[in-house]
Amino acid sequence: MFVGESGVKRVIQRTAELMKNHDTSDVRPFGGINLDTIQRYINFHYSVSLDLFGSERSANASVYYSAGLKGRYNESKIHDDHLLHAATQSVPEWENDSPSMVEIPAINALNERLRQDFIQDCIRGMARWNKVLQEHDISIQFYLPHVAFNRRIGAFADFYVTPTGAPLEANQWEKQRTEWLPTNEDKDFVASLMQPVTGPGEIAGWISPPSRGIDGHTFDYEYVRLS
């Protein structure tokens, strides 16, 4: 996740600089992306990425694992028999209008094991993004939405919840979803920022320069000379 994490960190860095320079949280007029807009994109990309791992219970995953076609993250560093004949794993399920955990055979919970490793990676990245805000004396902090938020695959596919995990009716979700997910206005605004910047030492106004250039050169180094 390093490449994406460092790129978003630079977007946040630029937003924080604009907030401080102009003494406002509304940095759109100055070419920046508001923190609340960034949070909505975090909510979206995190939730749809959780779906990519598949259902919490998966017979197909167990077949692929047993055939050597699927593995856990850092499989070689896990100290067990790697057969998972007797091992169990906690997986979430929805019960009585709230998520709960249940133990199932680990070999059927491989998707969830990988998802949990991904979540831990996201938590570490979120901490680094929030450190940028702290360094600029900004009290707002980014957060990861609840694991059941905006899910379309697995145990939570048929339920609606807020980013904090509170259950909603379908009509409530439709009324409030624009508070938590990118709106058409957000998408149009971000698209409007995507303008080419080609001059040496120049960079788009919505992202801060990298901390160092390629091979240790300064950011304004003339990497390419056009004749």
If pLDDT is split at 50, 70 and 90, which confidence band does 3 have? Answer: low
Range of the domain at 20: 2-52+114-216
Residue 56 has pLDDT above 80, yes or no: yes
Residue 93 lies in a domain: no
| 152-176 per-position pLDDT tens digit | 999 999 999 999 999 999 999 999 9
Number of helices (H) and strands (E), helices first, in the chain? Answer: 6, 4
Say what the pTM is.
Answer: 0.93
What is the mean pLDDT of the segment spanning 105-123? Answer: 96
* In a domain? residue 109: no
Number of domains in the chain: 1
Q: Which structure tokens are listed for 190?
A: 């971000």
Tell whether 8 is covered by a domain.
Answer: yes
Q: What is the mean pLDDT of residues 73-95?
A: 93
Per the CB < 8 A criterion, the answer to whether 182 and 47 are in contact is: no
In a domain, 73, yes or no: no
Domain presence at residue 33: yes
Residue 19 lies in a domain: yes
* Residue 95 placed within a domain: no
* Residue 67 within a domain: no
